[in-house]
Amino acid sequence: MRNETEPAADRSARRVTIDPEGPVLIDGPVEVRMPDGTTARSDRFMVALCTCRRSRRYPWCDTSHRRRTRGED
């Protein structure tokens, strides 16, 4: 079992793309260490990490950042 505080053996660079109005996109697979100590894992080719905290599937983006407020078109 790998120590969760040690870097992964694979040292190749991951590409991270920041969407200023949405998620952070990361080449998958990824593991996300949550504040409660659990680990969320996604094996997708491209993973969208929520940065707005509105996602019902946090830490994964569910496009809730696109939600419009009343009066907007």
Chain residues that interact with ligand FES, rule: CB under 6 A: 22-23, 50-52, 54-55, 61-65
In the complex, minimum distance from the CB of residue 47 to ligand FES, in angstroms, rounded to a whole number: 12
SS3 state at 40: strand
In the complex, minimum distance from the CB of residue 61 to ligand FES, in angstroms, rounded to a whole number: 3
Nearer to ligand FES (CB atom), residue 42 or residue 65: 65
Residue 35 · residue 29 · CB < 8 Å: no
Nearer to ligand FES (CB atom), residue 13 or residue 18: 18
Amino acid (one-letter) located at 40: A
Interatomic CA distance for residues 42 and 67, integer angstroms:
24
